[in-house]
Structure 1
Amino acid sequence: MSTSPPHGPRLPSPARWPVWVVPLFLAFVQVAGSLAAQNGPPRRHGGTHDLGTSHALGHTDLDALGFGLLLAGPALLLFRRRDPVATLAGTALVTGLYLLRAYTYGPAPFSLAVALFAAVTAGHRTAAWAGTGAGLAAYFGLTMLIGVPESDRGEPGRLFPVERPTLGSTIFVIGWALVVLITAELLRARGQKAAEAARVRAEEERRQASEERLRMARELHDVLAHNISMINVQAGVALHLMDEHPEQARTALAAIKEASKEALTEMRGVIGALRAQGESAPRSPTAGLDRLDDLLDRARSAGLRVETEVTGERRPLHASTDLAAFRIVQESLTNVTRHAGPGPVTARVRIAYGERDIEVRVEDDGRGAALLDDRPGGSGIRGMRERAAALGGTFDAGPRSGGGFGVVARLPLEEGSGDGSADEASLERGAR
């Protein structure tokens, strides 16, 4: 399961930049841009004295206060992450004072725009919208009272030589504020959507990891339960025959060696999937019905009488179906070994290939008493049922009317009939 991004590395978003980067950039832009606007060609405005004429728009030359106001806005932005609302209020006050002093128009409002973005994206939407409306109303109301005609803007000797607002300038300022606020809202919605997508992706990864752990536990249970049961039975036989029939005890010990070797091999394969899945080519075939004969031989070496019947047209199976069929037979024989009671016990394994599914049937004629193992049953039946259900098949297990126990599983032959559990086989393929 890969979680790496589909593209190359991306630059971090502005929210992840150091807090001083944006203020430093804005301080340079506002000072340099304002100086360029002050020393550049004079701005013109439409005249009202003579039709078809225009006049240069006056301004107050930048002084110490002007430079201080240009730097104060970016300086206040250093606190935009800690207290966005207070930063917005302070930046608005600084920007308003700059405009009331009638300094040259330029990039001075940029700091206010950044403060609005910070407040909206931080979730203080009401404060940003209401504050903008109240601030604009206060500014326009004050300039209507103390403002001068456009031709007298920046007139020396006045503390606030700001011009009275016109319809055009009012519409422009309100439009600028709306553009900033709406853009901030769009960015906020985009950020929320990205955060939600990241949360859903993290939950999906946790769910997949949980399913992977469940598949791993199922594989380990099937592998260990079968082989350890065989070892347990053969060890009991060897202890019983050690003194009187040492040659037969030797046969039991050889079976123990073979079962333990098989257990170690399969366990290494399953656990290896956790370490380097997909890093190397498979070193042994995936467990499937082509290894059924080896499985039955090990069961016979444990003292079971095993009869086999295969009907229908034998054909290759999908890997997940092949693995599930093999594991169901393996677990069923394990249960016969542990719980069928004193022998002789006969287990009948029947594999029937149909047009749409394959039937796996394992029945025994045991008495139901534990043999050399007084521990309660584990989760074998549940694991077999889960395997069948994962593929969209059916499973049934229970005592037989004539004695003994029976297991019947029907598994679909077509891939994708279940709920996407075809990865069961990939667990072993990637490890071996």
Structure 2
Amino acid sequence: MLTRPLRDRRPTWPDVLLSLAVAVAGLVESFGRQGAGLEQIKDPMPLAAGAIVSGALLLFRRRFPMATLLTLTAVGFAVQMITDAGYYAAWHFYSTLIMVHTVASAAELRSRRGIAGLGCVLIAYGHLQTLQYNDVPEVLIGAIFVGVAYTSGILLRRQIDRTARLAEHTTRLEMEREERARWAVAEERARIARELHDIVSHNVSLMTLHVGGMRRMLGDGRDHERELLLGVERAGRETVEELRLMLGMLRGTEDGDAPTPQPGLDRLDDLVSQVREAGPEVHLRIIGTRRALPPGLDLSAYRLIQEALTNVLKHAQAAGVDVTIAYGPDELSVVVINDGAGSGRTPHGGGGGHGLIGMRERTAMYGGELSAGPITGGGYRVFARFPLGDPAGAG
């Protein structure tokens, strides 16, 4: 059973209103029925005091459920002894039902507190039967009311426990989802670093070779320039070595030491052919004039399209896919649209996979923008924009 802390059992505004209602109703009953008749109250003061005490006890019923029920029973017995009358006070009966409900909702019946609470309920019910002469139907009616109050308390406690467990489970699932998302981002960044390792190392090595060639072309007459180029060449070689040490460790052991050729948009036709063989009809459209792109950006654009087409095969149940690549003066845009009926419920939206994480990471790395989501009328659209310029300036 999930126990609630004491601060959650403090009187609430509904408790205060309920307490006032019982006390005021008891006062109205005590003084409103004052008289010498059979169904009237000769001395209203003890009953009025009992109504006030009963209302006050309701304020503490959540924190001390069994104690307040037993105290109410004792108050009722004391009022009965003082008045020596058989008048059946309504405030006592209503307060008893409320506290029976609270006792039942406070503890699991199979626990020690639950068994003790049931004993308190039986004592209170037994005392109700001594307040006036009751025939068998009256006894059964009282038992029904008390039984309903006790059962409703049990159902309320089970519902509260179930809600608390569901909330805890939901929180745990949310934390696990966020943790998986963080791991996915880290893994995707490591994958991007592994893919860019060869590109960066190749370009830095090429720069170093060019600097070395220029140094040798200067001859022996320009020692100052040669010294400067020698320093640049030395820094380039050190950079290549550091790249090998820092980025090379990101490679998996299965990759080996041999560099892996990285694809680009020039190999997009092969990718489209592979997807067509798997089922959907893929239409590739190029807008603008193809031109050489920075190797890393070229690779990122290719991987983005590859991931979008992979998601189509896995989740979209699409018959057709349109891939559009537009070369602008200062940006490259990529649009992948499929007509699949299942796209809106797929990991495109991050429900079960992390395809969008890789797309976002690759696009953001070059200061670009990415949007993905269902489109009106069915299907799914992935749009990415890559600035063709300085990423730092674009971002």
State the TM-score, normalized to the length of structure 2.
0.51
Among 84, 89, 98, the residue aligned to 1:105? 89
Q: 1:75 to 1:346 in 2, by over 3 A?
A: closer
| 1:185 maps onto 2:154 in alignment | yes
Partner residue of 1:208? 177
Partner residue of 1:37? 29
Give, in angstroms, the shift of residue 181 of structure 1.
0.7
Partner residue of 2:105? 121
Among 190, 194, 204, the residue aligned to 1:235? 204
Whole-angstrom distance in 1 between the partners of 2:174 and 2:96: 41
Give, in angstroms, the shift of residue 425 of structure 1.
4.1
Q: What does 1:320-399 align with in structure 2 at a 5 Å threshold?
A: 339-340=257-258, 350-351=270-271, 352-356=274-278
Aligned length: 255
- Conservation of the 8 A alpha-carbon contact between 2:65 and 2:106: yes
Q: What does 1:109-258 align with in structure 2 at a 5 Å threshold?
A: 109-123=93-107, 124-137=113-126, 140=129, 143=130, 162-245=131-214
Whole-angstrom distance in 2 between the partners of 1:355 and 1:99: 91
SS of equivalent residue, structure 2 residue 207 = helix
- Conservation of the 8 A alpha-carbon contact between 2:57 and 2:72: yes
Whole-angstrom distance in 2 between the partners of 1:226 and 1:36: 84
- Conservation of the 8 A alpha-carbon contact between 1:23 and 1:77: yes
Q: 1:339 to 1:136 in 2, by over 3 A?
A: same
Give, in angstroms, the shift of residue 177 of structure 1.
0.8
- The Cα offsets for residues 205-251 of structure 1, whole Å up to 9 and x where unpaired, read as 22322232233223322333333442233223323442324699x9x
Whole-angstrom distance in 1 between the partners of 2:119 and 2:261: 84
Percent identical residues? 15
Whole-angstrom distance in 2 between the partners of 1:243 and 1:67: 106
Give, in angstroms, the shift of residue 139 of structure 1.
5.3
- Conservation of the 8 A alpha-carbon contact between 2:25 and 2:91: yes
Residue identity in the other structure for 1:90: T
Relative contact order higher in (CA < 8 Å, ≥ 6 apart): 1
Residue identity in the other structure for 1:421: P
Whole-angstrom distance in 2 between the partners of 1:347 and 1:175: 79
Whole-angstrom distance in 2 between the partners of 1:23 and 1:136: 23
Q: 1:61 to 1:175 in 2, by over 3 A?
A: farther
| 1:421 maps onto 2:347 in alignment | yes
- The Cα offsets for residues 138-157 of structure 1, whole Å up to 9 and x where unpaired, read as 554xx3xxxxxxxxxxxxxx
Whole-angstrom distance in 1 between the partners of 2:313 and 2:215: 47
- Conservation of the 8 A alpha-carbon contact between 2:34 and 2:43: no
Give, in angstroms, the shift of residue 96 of structure 1.
4.1
Partner residue of 1:86? 67
| 1:67 maps onto 2:26 in alignment | no
Whole-angstrom distance in 2 between the partners of 1:70 and 1:62: 10
Whole-angstrom distance in 2 between the partners of 1:42 and 1:181: 33
- The Cα offsets for residues 116-141 of structure 1, whole Å up to 9 and x where unpaired, read as 2322222143233232223333554x
Q: 1:137 to 1:163 in 2, by over 3 A?
A: closer
Whole-angstrom distance in 1 between the partners of 2:12 and 2:261: 80
Whole-angstrom distance in 2 between the partners of 1:183 and 1:242: 86
Whole-angstrom distance in 2 between the partners of 1:213 and 1:237: 36
Q: Which has the higher helix share?
A: 2
Give, in angstroms, the shift of residue 34 of structure 1.
2.5
- Conservation of the 8 A alpha-carbon contact between 2:311 and 2:355: no
Whole-angstrom distance in 2 between the partners of 1:84 and 1:391: 61
Residue identity in the other structure for 2:278: R
Partner residue of 1:25? 17
Q: 1:167 to 1:216 in 2, by over 3 A?
A: same
- Conservation of the 8 A alpha-carbon contact between 1:27 and 1:70: no
- Conservation of the 8 A alpha-carbon contact between 1:117 and 1:180: yes
Unaligned 5+ segments in structure 1 are: 1-14, 44-54, 144-161, 254-330, 359-383, 394-412
Whole-angstrom distance in 1 between the partners of 2:69 and 2:198: 73
Give, in angstroms, the shift of residue 178 of structure 1.
0.9
Partner residue of 2:221? none
Whole-angstrom distance in 1 between the partners of 2:122 and 2:19: 26
Residue identity in the other structure for 2:155: L
- The Cα offsets for residues 88-108 of structure 1, whole Å up to 9 and x where unpaired, read as 322332244445644563233
- Conservation of the 8 A alpha-carbon contact between 1:81 and 1:118: yes
Q: 1:98 to 1:220 in 2, by over 3 A?
A: farther
Q: 1:119 to 1:22 in 2, by over 3 A?
A: same
Residue identity in the other structure for 2:172: E
Q: 1:98 to 1:247 in 2, by over 3 A?
A: farther
SS of equivalent residue, structure 1 residue 242 = helix
Q: 1:198 to 1:80 in 2, by over 3 A?
A: same
Whole-angstrom distance in 1 between the partners of 2:30 and 2:11: 30
Whole-angstrom distance in 2 between the partners of 1:80 and 1:247: 94
- Conservation of the 8 A alpha-carbon contact between 2:22 and 2:91: yes
Q: 1:201 to 1:212 in 2, by over 3 A?
A: same
